[in-house]
Amino acid sequence: MEIYETAPISDEAVRIVVYRGGEEASIPETLHGLAVREIGREAFSGHTELRSLLLPEGIETIRAGAFAGCVGLESVTIPASVSRIEEGAFVRCVGLKSIGVAAENRYYRSLDGVLFDQRGKLLCCYPAGKQDTVYEIPLGVNAVAPEAFSWSASLRDVLIPPGLTWIGDGAFAYCTLLRSIELPRGMTGIGERAFMGCGRLADVEMPGTVTTLGAEAFSGCQRLTRVVISCLVTRLEEGVFRDCSSLPAAELAESVTEVGDSAFSGCSSLANINLPVRLTRIGEDAFRNCVSLRQLEIPAGVTRIGLNAFRGCKRLTVIADKGSAAFASAKRDRVRRRSSGRKI
């Protein structure tokens, strides 16, 4: 049985698409007389037994998820020839303590075992098995790549420098010990699932410069007790605070016009939330099972409310205009309702 299954890239080169070996992988420069140029998507994924990895000169691309879940891998060195490493190439490698880069590489560099682009503008990958409990992102970094810090086993605090404007999808997902992160003024975007499953994260204040807040960005942050959205976000995306079971209150910016599907679903401690006057839509399951929510006044401009938006809110009284979508939704979801007194 072949240890490496390949697929052609050209008449002269191949990519590795499947690995069938054991604890040690010393990838050759050529296979069947053809140059090895790529590690394919998820080619080594899930090989928990892999302990040692040698990447040869000549490799140019490491695809997304190439070594995902290789939990026994402790270190890796990126050859000088590598010009592209896709997002999540080493995701869930919870034993990985260091990523080195050959000095001659013109595209990437390593600083204290952390992978950056050569210019030092993008933090590409923080090894999940690195033992530090506090990490200060270097000055000059303006973006954190998708999955960059995800599954870090030790990180408790991350210090973000001024000038960092973007946190990618899943960047800090499942950093289960992360308790503190301060988002600097000037930040413009937080990607999907950025802090998903950060079970000890307690406080989040988004600066007024943020315009993008991705779906499920803080989903499953079970100890989150304070959220201030004082930014330019106009839509709370699907599941953005789903299952934040310790969250007692949320303060939404006046710019918010839509609360997406399941945005606060399962926030069982949520008792107070302001709905901005510009709000026009509340999505399906938006407040489902918010069992501590007692009163919610729906702005007159809300014309669309999804199915089960208030389902399971046993203590809730919805205050809305008679004949409005909110009044009908409250009846459908079997929660109490009271007229606002406004005429429509």
Round to whole Å and give the CA distance between 183 and 202.
14
pLDDT of residue 320: 85
Residue 232 inside a domain? The answer is no
Measured in whole angstroms, how far is the alpha carbon of residue 176 from the centre of its chain? 13
pLDDT cut 70: percent of the chain above it = 99
Read off the pTM.
Answer: 0.93
Q: Residue 79's closest CA among 115, 63, 98, 103?
A: 103
SS3 content of the chain, % helix, strand, coil (to 5): 0, 30, 70
Residue 3, in any domain of the structure: yes
How much is the pLDDT for 231?
Answer: 74
Is there a contact between 240 and 218 (Cβ–Cβ < 8 Å)? yes
Q: Average pLDDT of 276-280?
A: 93
Beta pairing class for 317-320 and 336-339: parallel
pLDDT at 75 over 80: yes
pLDDT digits (tens, 9 = 90+) for 268-277: 999 999 999 9
C-alpha triplet 151, 165, 119: angle, nearest 5°: 80
| pLDDT tens-digit series, residues 302-321 | 999 999 999 999 999 998 88
- Domain membership of residue 266 (yes or no) is no
Task: For CA atoms 4, 8, 10, 15, give the dihedral sign.
Answer: negative
Task: Tell whether 337 is covered by a domain.
Answer: no
User: By mean pLDDT, which of 124-128, 176-180, 218-222, 257-261 is the weakest?
Assistant: 176-180
In the structure, what pLDDT confidence band is assigned to residue 342 with cuts at 50, 70 and 90? low
Rounded to whole angstroms, the Cα distance separating 319 from 298 reads 6
Alpha carbon separation from 223 to 82, 214, 217, 299 (Å, rounded)? 41, 20, 15, 29
Which pLDDT score, from 0 to 100, does residue 343 have? 55
In a domain, 212, yes or no: no
**pLDDT tens digits along 16-60:** 999 999 999 999 999 999 999 999 999 999 999 999 999 999 999
290/264 Cα distance (integer angstroms): 8
Q: Is residue 31 part of a domain?
A: yes
Give CA–CA dist 38/290, Å, rounded: 48
For CA atoms 277, 282, 286, 290, the dihedral sign is positive
**Which two three-digit tokens encode residue 266?**
């399962």
- Residue 263: name the closest of 241, 291, 282, 290 by CA: 241
The structure tokens listed for 67 are 């070594």
Range(s) of the domain holding residue 59: 1-108
Provide mean pLDDT across the span 73-92.
97
Rounded Cα distance, 6 and 123, in Å: 30
Which domain CATH number covers 75?
3.80.10.10
Which residue would you say has higher pLDDT here, 326 or 214? 214
User: What confidence tens digit (pLDDT) does each residue in 114-160 have?
Assistant: 999 999 999 999 999 999 999 999 999 999 999 999 999 899 999 99
Least confident among 99-113, 219-233, 234-248: 219-233
> 110: closest CA among 132, 74, 77, 159?
77
* Cα–Cα distance, 300 to 21 (Å, whole number): 63
State the Cα–Cα distance between residues 327 and 335, nearest whole angstrom: 10
Counting the structural domains of the chain, the total is 1
CA atoms within 13 A on the CB side of 202: 5
Cα 92 to Cα 266: distance, rounded to the nearest angstrom: 27
CB of 158 within 8 A of CB of 178?
Answer: yes
Give the DSSP H or E segment for 332.
helix 325-332
Tell me if residue 15 falls in helix, strand or coil: strand
Does 121 reside within a domain?
Answer: no
| pLDDT on residue 341 | 66
Cα 49 to Cα 20: distance, rounded to the nearest angstrom: 11
**Angle at the Cα of 82 from the Cα atoms of 77 and 85, rounded to 5 degrees:** 85
In a domain, 6, yes or no: yes
